[in-house]
Structure 1
Amino acid sequence: MDILSCAGSKFAELLGDATINQTRYLFCFNNIVKELENKETNLKEEKDGINERVEQERQIHRAIVIDKNVEKWLEDVEKEIADVRNLKAIVDEKKSCLNGWCPNWGSRYWLGRKASKKTSKLSDLLQDRSKFSTVARPKPLPSDKELPIPRHFMSFGTTKSACNQIIKALKGDNTKIMGLYGIGGVGKTTLANFVGNQLREENVFDEVGIATVSQDQNIINVQSELVKSLGWELTEKYEKDRARRLRMMFSESKSRKMLIILDDVWNELDLEKVGIPVGDSDNCCKILLTTRLQPVCDRMGCDTQIQLGVLRQYEGLDLLRKHAGIDVADTTLIDVSKRVADECKGLPLAIKAVGNALRGRTADEWNVALDKLQNARLHKIEGIDKDSQGVYGCLKFSYDYLNGEDSRSCFLLCSLFPEDYKIDLEDLLGYGVGLVWYQAESIEKARSLLRGTIKGLKDSSLLLDTDDDGFVKMHDVVRDVALWIGSVEKKFFTSKVGIGLAERAIEKGREQCRGISFVGNKKEELPNGLAFANLHILRLHNAVYDYKLEVPEHFFKEMPALKVVNIIRGVLSLKSLQILTNLQVLQLIRCEVSDASFLGKLKRLQILCLQRSAIEIPEESWDELSRLKLLHIDTSFISPITIKKFPQLEEFYGLIKNWAVEGMSSEESYARYAESDSQPDGSVVHLPKDFSFPKLQRYHIDKVDGNGFVIYRGTRWLCIENDHKATLVIFSALYPELENLYLNRVRGCHNIVPSIDGRGLNELTSLDVNYCEDLECIMDASKSPHGKSGNPVMLSRLARLYMSELQELKWIWKAPAQHVISLQSLTELSVSRCNNLTYIFTLSQARSLVQLKTLEVRECERLECIIKAKFDHNEGEISAVDGNTILELPLLRKLRFEDIPELMSFGSENYYSTWPALEELDLSSCPKLTVNSIELEANLQYLGEAQQTTDEADAS
């Protein structure tokens, strides 16, 4: 009876203050447990579905990056399922009768309560699952371009000999680390790149990765360059975590042979710290390093070492004549060109610079140049060894021969960036505007002038191309010379040795100094101030990833002439900048910023870049910036009304607040208010009915910060999510020159053209459309302003089209029979999960696909064929063989069909296609697909060399 009393007492106690839910824990216990089990089952199914989709992406792209939200969701699901498993085990243990005859009511209550709360958590996770439009994306692929090498490189016996030795050693089993050494400017990087291209082309190595190490030896930068070159991706923040992840990537790719080029190594590099496996039994990768210093090869344990010497006399003369454009029949320059070549000491870098500077010059000018080069050799340069004196003199000569002060200023300014740094031309543009290099009435015209300056510097061999458009690099020897020239002329100074030492080093040139760049690779503190009365440009580049450089409040007090300020990873108050009344350009990158209200004091500001620098700027501060021409702000939302406050604004890159237009219907307004939760303050900006976004020359406008885009300057991007077509009218001024358009969950759109813009979006090159529930076609020529007559021009420059989850899409391109739609610019087309689509192209459209390189179609349930011919009977045949019409897609390299249950053929009726450039063919889960025997025979010669994955496809 004691047990009964105890149980009854506990039961009464619980009932005494129980809510309905608490009572339910007792009397509906079995139902609660059953509900939990059901939710668990549903969640497991969803988890399996997500994992299956991830695996599908992995099979398609081999290398993928799982969306961070999906990754976290999967982790949370695993944790919750494990908790449920433990809870069920306790339930099974406790739900037996106490002493075999009575339930334990206390345990029943607490377990019921716990199970109910856990069910709620599982429900939340199930709800979160519905938000995932994509689960993974392909990892960035390595550039299909070859590693850059200059023309004429292999025309010399000196380099051929070294090249053959390196290739032979790397093909052998005894060389794991190869060292290539030689003086600066002799061509080590070029030779290493050539070797990498050659060995990849010969299939000695499947992948070639490359990273520049430099004197500073920033491990994180080395890791970043390496993974990018290999098409991988690192999301880890810290060096050790990145190295661990990199080793895992190498381990996962151990079946592939890799060559890793480590360029410009100055000291021993700890490969373990980077994450490069060397010496293990699998030997999945080999190393080729370049260095100026032979002892570095010893310290790195190089199995083989090759010295790259200077060019022989006749080789140097030949290279000089090629770059100077000397006709072999021109006898007037024979003698002087030999003597000029001798002054270059066989160094390709010096020879090319001098040759380019003398291109088109007269014999008298050549003789003057020879005198200058000989005199330069006689002047001793402090801190420079005798072997390097010659190249310094040659490069200084090339600098002197540049056309215009703007070119010389730009050249010296490039030296303010760190060694081996990829210099963004948009940064140089900002400096040029701030320092008034160009008398240009707009930023766009200044950009054009800058491109001309950069081309001239590259033609002079003073700047180098990179693998990214819009960036340049400076050879480390050229940069050394630029720094020397800057210090001699007391114009520019760069320090990487600490602020205090730098200040003392430029004491003598304090009054003349116009530009300073401090590059910090260690944690240090800035002094309270620096006295440079005539300083125009200041760069504070803190390269320590986990450290913010604190800028004192009065730091700028004695630098009143500053026009350009660039700070990377700093902490500062904008109050400290208020005295800089001449400031034209302010760039704060990854900074912590306070006192934003003082921004309004910088009334002469033309360019403001706040990249990854969280800041909320009061509306009244914007009112003062009437001269602003370029605004880049990617961590705060700006009102469209604010954008119109800047009468001179030409370019805007950033996030805009959610808006509603007066007079919108309730359905149209719904998206605005539903979307407001995704923005920080949950607010919606109300715009007048006739509001129009200002006409900008360049822009990247992102309405929702969540689609993963990186915002770049110098582009024309528009990214819209969770919207209604009616509200997009505010961008009408931008549509004629729009280049990139991203639409996700935009309602009310039955077509893109002419619905969004009736003028045709003819500058558009890239279009992404996802989850637009009302979309029936991309381009509808039948609804164009031309009516039924004429031939409308629409999307004439479209090169890339990606479509996904468009359930109402019936056509991609729709037009009356008499209209011919040309797709001559299209290079990439990807279609996935568009379940009402029955074909992709008509025959006339397919005939214009002369540029198409990639065609991918996935999970389209009703798709029957790729090319449908029935609309083109009146157009005549292309060419016929035995009654079959042949269509050639001359540049198609990648063809992929996956999970298309109704796909029966590539072309309907008696049409078939050939793909002479095909490199990759993937046909999977297409059970009805029949390959025409003539089509198969026609492509057999190409398919033999293509990478093929076929499944369930028949030939007939």
Structure 2
Amino acid sequence: MAEALVEIVLEQFVSIIRQQGEVRISLIAGAKQEVQNLQSNFRAIQAVLADAENRQVKDNIVRVWLDELKDASYDIDDVLDEWNTKLQKLKIKKAEDASNPLKKVCSLILYYLSCRPLILRHDIAVKIKGLDRKLDIIATEKERFQFRSFTMSSKKEERPMTTSFIDLKEVWGRDNDKNSLVDLLLSQSSQQVLPIISIVGMGGIGKTTLARLVFNDDKVNTHFDKKIWVCVSEPFDELRIAKLILESLTNSPSQLVGLETVMQSIAQQIEGKKFLLVLDDVWTDNRRNWENLKHTLMCGSLESKVLVTTRKESAANVIGTTNKILLGILLEDECWSLFSQLALFETTNKEFEEIGKRIVKKCKGLPLAVKTLGNLLRFKREFKEWENVLESEIWELEEVEQEVFRPLLLSYYDLSPTLKKCFSYCAMFPKDYEIDREQLIKLWMAQGYLKSKDSKKDIELVGEEYFKSLAMHSFFQDFQKEEYVIDIRSCKMHDIVHDFAQFLTQKECYTIEVDSRGEIELESSYDKVRHSMIKIQGEASFPSSIYTRNTFLRSLVVDCNYGADPKIDLSKLVDQFTCLRSLFLEFCSIEEIPIEIKKLIHLRYLDLSGNRNIRELPETLCELYNLQTLDIRECENIKKLPQGIGNLINLRHLLNLWTNSISYMPKSFERLIGLRTFKRFVISEGSYGSEGCCVECLKNFKHLRVFGIKGLGNLRDVDEVKGIELNNKKNLRDLYVDFEGRMNEEQNQQLLQELQPHPDLEILRLDNYSGKTIFPDWMMSLTKLRKLTIWDCVECEHLPPLGKLSSLEILWIWGMKSVKRVGNEFLGIESDAMSASSSMIAFPKLKYLRFGDTKEWEEWNYGSTKREDEDIPVMPSLQTLELYDCRKLKSLPNHLHQMRTLKKEISFCPLLEGN
């Protein structure tokens, strides 16, 4: 946690030093030395942080020291960010003045009086000096702890070793998993590769227990000639693992010392034999670590099997897994059976049973937690003792901390410093909270947690990798992916994992849940909280005590029920929390953004979405020079964007869906060339006044990944669209085009032809196109297109040959009211005979198909779909078919009737009843 924070602060130093080349900076007396002292102290502390963060779990004094370091780091980060912001403001002012001759003369006078060189303000210098003294003390104190250096990594922490022995009396609820796994082990492989089965799951879920169950199964014992159990663990030592395998095969210690000779001996022992090798607790995801062992194991019979247990999905992938088992939680009745056997072995008291079942619910299906609490309560015979366990925060129990958190700590130690910070940040969310993936990545980005050695790589992509890495370490679960969405939308954390994250960040992250029972009393520790989420339920109001308590918050997420009115005083909020990096106020019934919003100079993430009564954004919002994300989705009464929006030079995501009252883009918008996400560029009649931004400026927006353009038909000339240069935007993955406007069919066709995107496009939506067919020359070049939506193209009579799109997974066709028949042209099958050498599958990857509001559609029939007397496969991957308001459609094609597992959702299609 502190490791990542120190890295952020050091990066701030580097950033400011680089800018000295552009703006001369003169520090007041002594301040330059103070900055150098800060940097020196941080470097010294950074070298021992890995050891300090590991030791904090067992040593409260070390934890106190780390808390002091984090407090100082946050404060220093704020001061440096304030300094950096002033530099940005100066650069923006110079750019503005350069474009205005009159202002240029005035600025020369001001520059001479106050900005040559830029004098570091006295208050900032004083803050740096005070913080330097504080950090000096912290750096001196570290010596008494005798920390190990950074190179002596936490991965050398002692890890528990496992064996194959098991007490079957202590196992409950894995019968189905065991039977399925035994069947896999006994099955014959049709491939000429060594079958590797991986059990993947979070620490404490029961992976080793399941492996032991099948290892000792009678059928397994008789099926294999040799059985070997090896605890791999960390650090990975190829020679040690090879010697353990050999010792298990020979039942004697190995005296061999070379890896080559050990591998040769293993090959001799298993040659032609059917063996089962269990590799328990695998951590390494370095492919090279497995190469020698896998080659050696191929000497055995092809009926041999390797069984791997790991909490890292990436480790399962690199080892060459052929079957993956994602081990889930135990059912509640199975947990109760295990708990009652341990805790109630001599008791039938109904009162104890009732409270015991409530305690079991807290374990949320995690076997290790059930077993730990069962053993804890085994000899407690006072009802009050059980009640205390029920009412406590589970991580406050010493036994839970030692037993349940130990496997989670090992997973935590395996993370990089920045990943540790990203994980612990999630403690801010309440238990069982559905965490939005994109929102989480933007929140991480706002805190400066996302780092990449590749300066050309977007930090959003780094965030995606971080999310996947935490998921592969089993820290996330319950992934939600809507049928019409390509990527994962949200996830949750297991309650025990959440408790563990809270254990690591007891004074940093805080969740407040407010209901209608009245004003809450905040704990005194809230004054040190950095990241907080306030969950407002029902008709409750925003807690007024917040306004007077904490001035250090860097994240504030307010979660309201849709339609609620929490009565947030935004002016007070802005005055109080000037350190904020993230402010999330979705659906909070906010009516006005105060001009004081400019005080939030550190703000990177501002979410105002769903506040439908906001009518305008103040010009002072454009003084938030560090802002990276501005979310105004569903702020449907905002009439225009502020004229100075171009000053938001660090803006990367402008989310403005469902803001239809905005009629044009301000002139200064053309300076926002760093945008990665821009949901809607609006073109309307009369958009080209002195205050408006022309469409040609979009050619400079080369970093766009998600882009939408609305009102394309309102362009003055078709040739203007060429200036967008979509085909040169190599990062573009998601494109929305709305042809609404005054252009005719021929002009629309020309527009569509000129809109050719880069071939790496993955998502495309076309709205309000007025041509009779949607088939530009570039359509079939989109070999990576995964989702296509065609919406309200009411004049279109024929569907394009979309079956040729080899990567298409999701297809929505809505409002094509002129289509009467769908045939082979839709599949992309030519009417003339296909050559024998051609390979063809129509819609090879399509999973989700939806037609809606196609009221004139009557026939859905194909002609011949044969090639050389063989049927061409049609939609072999289709999982869901939705038809809505297709009132004249008479029947479905045969291939859909033959798909027994196809999920059909048919509404307002009277002629298809019973299909």
- Going by fraction, where is strand more abundant, 1 or 2? 1
So what's the TM-score if we normalise by structure 1? 0.46
TM-score (norm 2): 0.47
Relative contact order higher in (CA < 8 Å, ≥ 6 apart)? 2
* Structure of higher CA gyration radius: 1
